[in-house]
Amino acid sequence: MPHPAPTPRTIHRSGPLTGRVSVPGDKSISHRALMLSALAVGTSRIEGLLEGEDVLATAAAMRQMGAEITRDEDGVWHVHGVGVGGLMQPAQALEMGNSGTSTRLLMGLIASHAITATLTGDASLSARPMARVIEPLSQMGADITASPGGRLPLMVRGMNPAVPISYTLPVASAQVKSAILLAGLNTPGITRVIEPVATRDHSERMLAGFGADLTVEQTAEGRVISLVGEAELKPQHIVVPGDPSSAAFLVVAATIVPGSDILVTNVGLNPTRAGIFTALRLMGADITEQDARTVGGEPVADLRVRHAPLHAIEVPPELAPSMIDEYPVLFVAAACATGRTVARGAHELRVKESDRIAAMVAALGAIGVATEEFDDGLAITGSGGAPLPGGGTIASLLDHRIAMSLAVAAMVCAGPVTIDDVAPVATSYPIFFATLDTLKETTELAAS
């Protein structure tokens, strides 16, 4: 899939951010809500679904495999499922765009159905390795033919009945775990995943909510998730909370831009996803939770964030699984702190939409921030709250989180910062720049 023409954007230093905003629905939960609704018998209702390109790729794929998916004018989605085992042969390749989550989870779904599907993606996704998913799914009987290096495009020939396995994750990966569990739904017997390091648990929560026979046990080996196959899923009414990964950009922006005071509403605070807020608080960020509640089985709160001076820390490596997508914007916060922040234990950043460690070294260097690169992270020497030099041009590398992170950094740069392509932001947060503009306009209105 060719990437559209680049959309460059130049960003200037910002005044205070104020006001109340919400963030789009959680991307991880949105993907899973569509997939499991498509496997339920009956019609599920989904509110708050993230309508970014990644999630829309999942919706398109599930339609190709037989699910009826519609959207009301008020933004509510309805999914009439085909039942576990009922996926149909897609008539053409499943186009995944930039979505690694769609790709890996759909590989799991297809692996235990008697269908064959080809998955393709854009240049960024086609460079990402899929071997870590291919290995366990092949053990279950799927025949997967990938491009050199275990990359897209690839073809999955599902096996039915598939073979249940007990698989210990060699690296912490919620996507690999979820792919195996989704394959296990249509596999007779008990499929087990052992994760020595706990990862985000949206799949387990949602599978249980749809009626799957699933248990989670903490053992000496780690966290053991067991799923009884040939499941019968029941349709659900799902309310998707706001995405903490999207909220993180606004939280860091308000933290580093002097005079800021914002409220970000309806933020999902699943403890397997909220590591970024823990790390920021360790650095001195002023983040207060208001109206804590549970929505759709997920903990949610409104976050009030006020500007605060930050100090350097050694980021606890055990936080990595709960904030792996948020490291780029954490690096931006560290660039504004006093002292040298060290973040290690984040090997997974090397195989995201881009090599996010190398990408952030280049991007921060272009705006005058000193870094030291490690195999598994970065050390960043902060400005002590002074404006960053800025004035550079950033390569987003087709990575939405790199583009958004540097947009936040540009807000405290003395010179304007140009990002070569912000189009990838649409994959996860289509209204990101409009939201930032709203927070700036609120301040201007208050001052007028």
Q: How far is 125 from 94, CA to CA, in rounded Å?
A: 13
Say whether 278 sits in a helix, a strand or coil: helix
Q: Which of 243, 325, 399, 421 is catalytic?
A: 325
Q: Which residues pair with 261 in a beta bridge?
A: 18, 306
Q: What are the tokens at 142?
A: 């799927």
Q: How far is 402 from 334, CA to CA, in rounded Å?
A: 15
Residue written as token pair 């396995």: 165
Q: What are the tokens at 191?
A: 């499929």
Query: Any known ligand binding at 352?
Result: yes
Contact call for residues 40 and 234 (beta carbons, < 8 A): yes
Q: Which residues pair with 303 in a beta bridge?
A: 264, 289
Task: Identify whether 325 is a catalytic site residue.
Answer: yes
How distant is the alpha carbon of residue 426 from its chain centre?
Answer: 13
Q: What are the tokens at 22?
A: 């919400």
Q: How far is 92 from 86, CA to CA, in rounded Å?
A: 18
Contact call for residues 280 and 330 (beta carbons, < 8 A): yes
Nearest to 421 by CA among 448, 396, 441, 404: 396
Contact call for residues 406 and 256 (beta carbons, < 8 A): no
| Residue-wise burial string across 298-310, b where 16 or more C-beta atoms lie within 10 A, e elsewhere | bbbbbbbbebbbb
Query: Any known ligand binding at 325?
Result: yes
Query: Any known ligand binding at 428?
Result: no
Q: How far is 294 from 96, CA to CA, in rounded Å?
A: 32
Q: How far is 62 from 38, CA to CA, in rounded Å?
A: 7
Nearest to 135 by CA among 111, 102, 117, 106: 111
Query: Any known ligand binding at 27?
Result: yes
Contact call for residues 289 and 269 (beta carbons, < 8 A): yes
H or E stretch including 30?
helix 27-39
Query: Any known ligand binding at 440?
Result: no
Query: Any known ligand binding at 234?
Result: no
SS3 helix, strand, coil % of the chain, rounded to 5? 35, 30, 35
Nearest to 376 by CA among 344, 340, 341: 344
Query: Any known ligand binding at 100?
Result: yes
Which positions make up the binding site for 3-phosphoshikimate?
27-28, 32, 173, 175, 325, 352
Which positions make up the binding site?
27-28, 32, 100, 128, 173, 175, 325, 352, 356, 401
What positions carry a catalytic annotation? 325
Which positions make up the binding site for phosphoenolpyruvate?
27, 100, 128, 175, 356, 401
